[in-house]
């Protein structure tokens, strides 16, 4: 029975970790190599993350410098950046690619806040779905006389506390990301 709770907790934890990874790829005015995590480059016919083909540095608050280990891949990295949803035009000097992050407009900040709120809600729903599945498993145990009503009640209360903890983590991550977007 405790394994049902452990499994639920593990799945909720993964949901929160995934949300934080998603948030890291959302641009908030400040340059961070995580912005490029989803950018895939056609490397000899294989889609490869740009961070596996180059060194990415942040020399200034709104500048990313991408230095490919193999110079011949530079045009492919540029193509991938142009195709990405970053909305930033790369500049290349034949050795490195520079990405200058423009200042966010008020309108763009508001769009980003709406987007992160929507993402947070999707992950809250995911956490609640894990809780619902775990509750169904607990009820099935009770029905099959695998546990007493009191035991199931106790486990359901514990499950609710676990759920609340992860929903709180999501809310905290959202609050931090919103602040980052609005300050950027």
Q: What are 125-179's pLDDT values in tens digits?
A: 999 999 999 999 998 888 888 788 888 999 999 999 999 999 999 999 999 999 8
Sequence-separated (6 or more) residues with CB below 8 Å from residue 143: none
Report how many domains make up the chain.
2
The range of the structural domain enclosing residue 135 comes to 2-24+105-183
pLDDT at 2: 86
- Summarised one tens digit per residue, pLDDT across range 76-134 is 999 999 888 777 889 999 899 999 887 778 888 888 899 899 999 999 999 999 999 99
Residue 30's pLDDT band, with cuts at 50, 70 and 90, is confident
Residue-wise over 18-32: b if at least 16 C-beta within 10 A, else e?
ebeebbeeebbbebb
The residue among 100, 126, 142 that closes a domain is 100
Section 44-68 average pLDDT: 90
Q: For the domain that residue 89 is a member of, what is the CATH number? A: 3.30.1360.40
- The model carries a pTM of 0.70
Distance from C-alpha of 61 to C-alpha of 103, rounded to nearest angstrom:
11
Secondary structure class of 46 (helix, strand, coil): strand
């Amino acid at each position: 029975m405790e394994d049902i709770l452990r499994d639920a907790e593990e799945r909720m934890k993964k949901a929160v970790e995934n949300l934080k990874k998603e948030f890291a790829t959302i641009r908030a005015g400040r340059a961070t190599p995580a912005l490029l995590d989803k950018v895939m480059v056609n490397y000899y016919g294989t889609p490869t993350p740009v961070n596996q083909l180059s060194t990415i540095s942040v020399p200034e608050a709104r500048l990313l410098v991408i230095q490919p280990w193999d110079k011949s891949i530079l045009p492919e990295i540029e193509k991938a950046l142009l195709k990405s949803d970053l909305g930033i035009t790369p500049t290349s000097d034949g050795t490195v690619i520079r990405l200058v992050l423009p200042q966010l407009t008020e309108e763009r900040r508001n769009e980003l806040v709406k987007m992160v709120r929507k993402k947070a809600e999707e992950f809250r729903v995911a956490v609640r779905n894990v809780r619902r599945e775990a509750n169904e498993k607990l009820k099935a145990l009770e029905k099959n006389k695998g546990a007493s009503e009191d035991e199931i009640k106790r486990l359901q209360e514990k499950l609710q506390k676990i759920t609340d903890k992860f929903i709180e983590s999501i809310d905290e991550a959202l609050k931090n990301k919103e602040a980052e977007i609005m300050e950027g």
